[in-house]
A and B are shown apart, each in its own frame.
Chain A
């Protein structure tokens, strides 16, 4: 078996048995990346020299017989929104093209402490704004299952790199579906944890009340392994919650007997892709056969989620992105007339069209006279959406839905119509608004051979329950073992 195909837990076993060293494993990834990434374009930056040094240090620890983490010597890819000390962090934006953070973000720091190897930084929609990775300021990433299609977004580089075996696993970030939707499009596992479960320190801010870092992996076990490392309170992020982190590997129980699963009827609507509907219902029926009780449930405010989300996230983005003014870091325009003009030209040159559009929208909904009509109204509807979930979780352990209404669409298909692009996150957005965890796992393929994702949603801090459902489904099916054919 090719080493690049291994999951983290399989590679850990190989390292422990000395079947290969971390350096050999790391080098085999770079050899494969040189071939595969000419087609997929997942990476923005490769850090081969540093990665080999990290791998050698891991090998020394392993040879010494130290007790090591399951991530020791495991090659990972990081979404380019995560601050990495002295390593270029661009957010796929021209405005941060040469930015080298002077520190590691907390999640990255924890991976480093555990001995993980960083192969490089992967592509994304600029500032995580998008659902296709087409909004990157630098490259178009392609779906490894069909190179004419998008890998999803905004963590499209992460999902494509995992699916194409260009890394073992990756960290992405999810504001409205940006981990789960690309995971679904690329046939891999992606989890958005509960808001506050993972520190956002060193995650470049998009919409602070919605952003969470989450793992993208080849199977559910690897998801639990990464969650064990990145979760937990951090004094540098006062919204990270000080609640004990369970050992998520203990939640990997191959049994759903007696679990109560709800099917929100608003997520199965007219106009949905037939293959997606069929695959998701088949998954639901299997879980029922295996002993879960399955019932329809209503989340009546679902249809208001997209409008609510695009008011809240653009408002927060417009203030978060005010920091890109050409003073402390990033691009500064050369030809300007005075300070204000320097700001305005710097931002005009540095930001791409979608980022400008969202800053404009966010500035408008927060401007004098419109605040109550838009921003306050959206926050009130957010309360109603969260209330729908609160009521559902009084009766259910988890909810099952499609991750995305369609499989991966064609590159260019939705670029000209921002509203259509926004609607591709219709099933993932409510989860961020409510701050609850969700995981997407592969549950089949379309007639055209494109992966389909099943979303499992849990209550606040109930990651263990959704991992259990996901693990049971995965252990009894083989969708997660399928790989795209890349020359």
Chain B
């Protein structure tokens, strides 16, 4: 076993996902299968290989820092589950 229910619970906490008991069991089994399949990569010796994070050789992209129009407040807040007085409304953060 590469990963047990305890680890699945830990990862779910990191990912901010509430899982049911059935989901925990199912994911434990499926993630084990998938991670075992991924072990295939260990057949390859990659000690000298540079990692690729971006396929097209791009350098830093700069632009002139001009003031541009941005989205107005109304439509920006328009999709929020809760908004008040021009702000997003969230549950109390500092106890």
Contacts and interface: CB of A to CB of B under 8 A. Distances in A.
| Interface bracket on A | 35 or more
B58 interface: yes
A345 B18 contact: yes
Given A304-B41, A332-B81, A380 B18 contact: no
For the residues of B in contact with A, the DSSP-based class is: loop
B41 A308 contact: yes
Contact of B53 (A195, A336, A379): A379
B79 A330 contact: yes
A460 B58 CA distance: 13
A428 to B, nearest CB: 15
Given A343-B16, A384-B46, A331 B41 contact: no
A232 to B, nearest CB: 15
Contact of A311 (B27, B38, B54, B75): B38
B52 A339 contact: no
Interface in B41-78: 41-44, 46, 49-56, 58, 61, 63, 71, 75-76, 78
Contacts of B82: 332
A340 B16 contact: yes
A292 interface: no
A460 B54 CA distance: 13
Nearest to A345: B18
A172 interface: no
Nearest to B81: A332
A102 B75 contact: yes
Given A235-B63, A330-B79, A386-B55, A367 B14 contact: yes
Contacts of B81: 326-327, 329-332
Interface string A444-487: 00000000000000001000000000000000000000000000
B55 A209 contact: yes
A377 B55 CA distance: 16
A239 B56 contact: yes
Contact of B91 (A336, A356, A380, A433): A336
A384 B44 contact: yes
A347 B56 contact: no
Interface string A334-352: 0010111111110110010
Given A239-B56, A342-B91, A307 B40 contact: yes
B30 A357 contact: yes
A308 B46 CA distance: 13
Contacts of A347: 15-18
A361 interface: yes
A102 B76 contact: yes
B26 to A, nearest CB: 8
17 contacts: A102-B71, A102-B76, A209-B55, A239-B58, A306-B37, A336-B91, A340-B16, A342-B91, A359-B17, A360-B15, A361-B31, A361-B35, A376-B51, A377-B46, A380-B50, A383-B50, A435-B55
Given A307-B41, A328-B79, 20 more contacts: A100-B79, A102-B79, A238-B58, A239-B54, A239-B56, A304-B40, A307-B40, A311-B41, A328-B80, A329-B80, A330-B81, A347-B17, A356-B17, A360-B12, A360-B27, A361-B34, A379-B52, A380-B50, A383-B51, A460-B56
